[in-house]
Structure 1
Amino acid sequence: MNLTATEGQTVTLPCRAPNNKLLVAIEWSRPDLKQQYVYLSVDDHTERLNQHPSFKDRVILLDRQMKDGDVSLVLINVTTDDTGTYECRVETRTNSRRATLDAAPISIIYLRVDPPGQPGGSAGPTAGLSAIVCLLLLLF
């Protein structure tokens, strides 16, 4: 899934875990961050020890109760540095009390964050400068 946002916006990265299993851990990561993560919750406790510093105090779960397996992540005040691929993984427990970590992500999202005033990345300083030059040519 691809999402596009503008700097300063709040973005929700969707992810849904299986309904019939108890969620033990939720991990949101970006492969380029290596050992650090975007968000990690284990046994309903948010872990911050190895959280990447740029995400501290800017990420929360959309539904802290995770009703119907909703483990979507809200990313607050996005910047262009937030552009990248996000992966959602969960660790579940079934009735047998055996926990299993899904090695493969259950959701992969590519987020592109554009600077303000540049929706779609098509307009930029050059476009603004060209408009000014055209206006000056009309006046003289």
Structure 2
Amino acid sequence: MEKEKWKMPTLTFSLCLLACFLSFTVSAEITVKPGENVTLQCQSPRGEAITALMWIRSDLNPDTDGCVFFFRENRSYEVYQHPSFRGRVQLRDPEMKDGDVSVILKNVTINDTGTYECRVYVNSKGPELMTTVYLTVTDSGHTAGNTWTEGDKDEGKKEEQNHGLTVGLPVAAVIVLLLVVVAVVGFVIYRQRRQRPDQQVHYRAAVPQQV
């Protein structure tokens, strides 16, 4: 009976941790050089009808300043874009197959540095945040290899792999951390259950042998 009482809170705690973990949106960090093209990747739920797509930058108000990219009714609307992004943003897959709503930002400049958010309208519902991308454009330093060169399929595949690694590393780190915490808690409980106060250790005194 005591074992069942002990298992229930542990199970509830584990489920809460799992729910919190799954509720996180995907985030990525990308560093590129001026003049390059960069792919801002975003994935919406597969099989869901996308009614609209909007990419925004956190320091710009989409209602007054405009957004990075806006797509609705099978076409993009430059009228809703910030002037600095007009003519420089396009869907990586115009058909958005399998929920791919990534966009390509061309000929980046230092002014493109910022936090980009991908918001998707699915089945006539309100916008849902899918991905947050932290983009840094700099002349110096190592780039993350997430640039997109049109017409070069091999390079595009490498970029997608690198981007997946960038996103996957934080996720793997969280999973490993959760496993370590569970292992430590289980070990502590195991030690406590073995070392009960009512348990006594008896020692047998050595009996000298007769000569």
Range class of TM-score, shorter chain: 0.7 to 0.9
The TM-score normalised by the length of structure 1 is: 0.77
Q: Is residue 2:141 matched to residue 1:119?
A: yes
User: What is the aligned partner in structure 2 of residue 76 from structure 1?
Assistant: 106
Q: Is the 8 A contact 1:87 1:109 kept in 2?
A: yes
Give the unaligned 5+ runs of structure 1: 94-98, 122-140
Alpha-carbon distance between aligned partners in 2 of 1:33 and 1:50, rounded to the nearest angstrom: 12
User: What is the aligned partner in structure 1 of residue 8 from structure 2?
Assistant: none
Point out the structure with the larger helix share: 2
Largest Rg, 1 or 2: 2
Alpha-carbon distance between aligned partners in 1 of 2:127 and 2:67, rounded to the nearest angstrom: 16
**Percent of aligned positions that are identical:** 40
Q: Is residue 2:76 matched to residue 1:54?
A: no
More RCO (CA 8 Å, sep 6+) = 1
**Runs of 4+, deviation exceeding 3 Å:** none
The alignment's C-alpha RMSD in Å is 1.3
How is 1:120-139 mapped onto 2 (pairs within 5 angstroms)?
Answer: 120=142
Alpha-carbon distance between aligned partners in 2 of 1:21 and 1:30, rounded to the nearest angstrom: 25
1:6 Cα deviation from its structure 2 partner: 0.2
Point out the structure with the larger strand share: 1
1:5 Cα deviation from its structure 2 partner: 0.2
The TM-score normalised by the length of structure 2 is: 0.52
42, 45, 49: which one aligns with 2:75: 45
Aligned residue-pair number: 113
User: What is the aligned partner in structure 2 of residue 89 from structure 1?
Assistant: 119
AA paired with 2:137? Answer: V
1:119 Cα deviation from its structure 2 partner: 2.4
